[in-house]
A and B are shown apart, each in its own frame.
Chain A
Amino acid sequence: MLEMIYLDPLFAIEVVVSGLLSGIMYSLVALGFALIFKASGIFNFAQGAFVLFAALTLVSLIEGALFGVKLPLLLAAAVTLVIMVVYGMAVERLVLRPLINQSLIILFMATIGLNFFTEGFAQMLWGAQVKRLDLGIPEKPWEGLRLATGITLSVFELVAAAIAGVLVLGLTLFFSKTTTGRALRAVSDDNQAAMSVGIPLQHIWAVVWAVAGIIALVAGMLWGAKLGVQFSLSLLALKALPVLIIGGFDSIVGVIVAGLIVGASEKFAEVFVGPYFGGAIENWFPYVLATVVLLIKPQGLFGEKIIERV
């Protein structure tokens, strides 16, 4: 690996930064999982399907699926937002609430069912062909940056990362500063104690699923524009898994940082280490990293320590 030292440092920076940028987008997907896990202890296997559902809905509205009227991007996004919030709350109401107090494995099975239902439902409504989503953000490199520093980064990646960053920041503030956010953390700590002080669990869970729907929409927009809106978007769940393991399922901050770590390290590994293994290590490298973390720190790098009560 000595050759690495002779590589252009600018190129290395470029690789890492573009890795970080796509890392933020992993964080975004993983955040949808972490949120529901934190509030209700459920691993929502269907979060990836939510992303697909959101992206397909958005594209279809833009293309005029609704009464043949082609909606402009912003209006379509607003309508999709409402649909995702309603869908998230309906799932909580119709699937998870009746299963309250059941064992976790049953809840997990329910979300697997929900995953396939959501995938099928989305494609039944909007069709299964690959669609292009144009958010109007140019895919070209940022010239100013390239001229000034020699680093080539795509404008799209920067804008996407900024959007994801703003959402993540907004959620962090929501959790730490608002009454509902605080109640949500209380519920995730001890749900009977939360009930005892008058926090209605159902209300909090409805909020959580609605927020998961919103996150799915933003992730669906950004990933859909990047990869095309297609069935494989729902496989983003598989990208989120190592992020969750590394960051800790119940840590919002952890998931964000882990997304960045995964994004940067997989790109770096692909470009600089991959050639020694014959390439294409990007896809499994995060899992290796996740396994190592599991062995060293099973609750994840930022997972909440289990506090022993006196």
Chain B
Amino acid sequence: MTTASPAAEAQPALLSVNNIEVIYDHVILVLKGVSLSLPEGGVVALLGANGAGKTTTLKAISNLLKTDRGDVTKGQIHFKGEQSNALSAADMVKRGLVQVMEGRHCFGHLTVEENLLTGAYTRGDGRGAISADLELVYKYFPRLKERRGSLAGYISGGEQQMCAIGRALMARPKVILLDEPSMGLAPQLVAEIFSIVTRLNREEKVSFLLAEQNATVALKHADYGYVLESGRVVLDGPAGQLAENADVKEFYLGFSGGGRVNFRDTKHYRRRKRWLA
């Protein structure tokens, strides 16, 4: 296992992934032993380039791999101390772990409010509690309240991301797995969404596991980070240290030494140089 942060060692992790292997279609080996842990109340970033295996890792945790014909063939995943490999996605949501999928996936033909309400599907605590949480979501995302009656298919990309996060919140989760929230959004919106993530973490005590290609933003808002490459964790550490790490700077933040390098150079280096190798 990779070195865990002191904070993560002090208390048992809320979520821990231990050396998992994932195979698609019975033959395509995509994750080759990934381990990570998310402490209670933490915000952990999972970084990596296209195809590194971030989405696969998140879906392995939320048990959404089956519909993609993927299987966890080795290793264990524990959520709140319970081994969770054999549970269904619905069981995970009931236990307090929800994934916000890459590309938002709002229900396009349902209104924004109906989308939010579908998030409460697994709850059994009555209408009163659910409508109170609806108001809570609207407090964090006032724009969703303005658009509550619009079909989710016709709202902007930023609003859809908010809708997808709000929908996950309606399940009253302990953990949200957030897959590429910055995808296709203008920098200002990305900043807005990440600052709401930080608030949700502090005020609502939701822990986050964030998969991101945008390492700059992710490391700014996370306390700890893991770097994935070709299905392996190649680097991990406290977010501040990762942000200072020369390799991370070079490959994910676009810096080399003091100055910015252009994209072509970065790509050129990438083929030869490996993480920590």
B99 touches A (CB below 8 Å)? yes
The stretch of B15-23, B150-158, B220-228 in contact with A is B150-158
Q: A192 and B105: CB pair below 8 A? A: yes
User: In this complex, what residue of B is CB-closest to A179?
Assistant: B121
A197 touches B (CB below 8 Å)? yes
User: In this complex, what residue of A is CB-closest to B155?
Assistant: A310
Q: B93 and A197: CB pair below 8 A? A: yes
Q: B107 and A195: CB pair below 8 A? A: no
A196 touches B (CB below 8 Å)? yes
A200 touches B (CB below 8 Å)? yes
Q: A199 and B90: CB pair below 8 A? A: yes
Q: B108 and A196: CB pair below 8 A? A: no
Asked, given contacts A198-B89, A200-B90, whether A307 binds B109 with beta carbons under 8 Å apart, the answer is: yes
A193 touches B (CB below 8 Å)? yes
Q: Is the interface of A mostly helix, strand, loop or mixed?
A: helix
Q: Of A179, A191, A200, which contacts B88 at CB under 8 A?
A: A200
Q: Smallest distance from the beta carbon of B175 to chain A beta carbons, Å?
A: 13
Q: A197 and B98: CB pair below 8 A? A: yes
Asked, given contacts A196-B99, A197-B98, A200-B88, whether A185 binds B110 with beta carbons under 8 Å apart, the answer is: yes
Q: Which residues of B contact A192 (CB under 8 A)?
A: 64, 67-68, 101, 105
Q: Which of A137-195 contact B (CB under 8 A)?
A: 179, 182-183, 185-186, 189-195
CA distance A307 to B154 in the complex (A): 8
B50 touches A (CB below 8 Å)? no
Q: A196 and B98: CB pair below 8 A? A: yes
Q: Of A186, A191, A200, which contacts B118 at CB under 8 A?
A: A186
CA distance A197 to B165 in the complex (A): 11
User: In this complex, what residue of A is CB-closest to B179?
Assistant: A196
Q: Mark B195-222, 1 if CB is under 8 A from A, else 0.
A: 0000000000000000000000000000
User: In this complex, what residue of A is CB-closest to B107?
Assistant: A189
| Count of inter-chain pairs, beta carbons less than 8 A | 89
Q: Which residues of A contact B119 (CB under 8 A)?
A: 197
User: In this complex, what residue of B is CB-closest to A189?
Assistant: B107
Q: Of A101, A179, A304, which contacts B67 at CB under 8 A?
A: A101
Q: A182 and B156: CB pair below 8 A? A: no
Q: Which of A83-112 contact B (CB under 8 A)?
A: 101
B37 touches A (CB below 8 Å)? no
Q: Of A185, A198, A310, which contacts B121 at CB under 8 A?
A: A198
Q: Mark B90-131, 1 if CB is under 8 A from A, else 0.
A: 101110001111011111111000110111011000000000
CA distance A309 to B88 in the complex (A): 27
Q: Smallest distance from the beta carbon of A98 to chain B beta carbons, Å?
A: 14
Q: B89 and A196: CB pair below 8 A? A: yes
Q: B171 and A198: CB pair below 8 A? A: yes
Q: Which residues of A contact B268 (CB under 8 A)?
A: none
Asked, given contacts A192-B101, A196-B62, whether A309 binds B108 with beta carbons under 8 Å apart, the answer is: yes
User: In this complex, what residue of A is CB-closest to B185?
Assistant: A310
Q: Which of B241-260 contact A (CB under 8 A)?
A: none
CA distance A182 to B110 in the complex (A): 8
CA distance A272 to B151 in the complex (A): 43
Q: B64 and A307: CB pair below 8 A? A: no
CA distance A310 to B117 in the complex (A): 22
CA distance A110 to B147 in the complex (A): 42
Q: Which of A185, A186, A200 has the most CB of B within 10 A?
A: A186
Q: Smallest distance from the beta carbon of A205 to chain B beta carbons, Å?
A: 13
Q: Smallest distance from the beta carbon of A178 to chain B beta carbons, Å?
A: 11
Q: Mark B68-90, 1 if CB is under 8 A from A, else 0.
A: 11000000000000000000111
Q: 23 pairs across A/B with beta carbons < 8 Å?
A: A183-B121, A185-B110, A185-B114, A186-B115, A186-B118, A190-B105, A191-B67, A192-B101, A192-B105, A193-B101, A193-B106, A193-B107, A196-B93, A196-B101, A197-B93, A197-B98, A197-B118, A197-B121, A197-B167, A197-B170, A200-B88, A310-B156, A310-B184
Top 7 closest pairs, chain A to chain B, by CB? A198-B93, A307-B153, A193-B105, A198-B122, A310-B157, A189-B107, A307-B108
On B, residues with C-beta under 8 Å from A are 62, 64, 67-69, 88-90, 92-94, 98-101, 103-110, 114-115, 117-119, 121-122, 151, 153-154, 156-157, 160, 167-168, 170-171, 184
On A, residues with C-beta under 8 Å from B are 101, 179, 182-183, 185-186, 189-200, 304, 307, 309-310
A193-B105, A193-B106 known; 16 new pairs, CB 8 Å cut-off, are: A101-B67, A182-B117, A185-B109, A186-B118, A189-B110, A193-B101, A196-B100, A197-B118, A197-B119, A197-B122, A198-B98, A198-B122, A200-B88, A200-B90, A309-B108, A309-B153
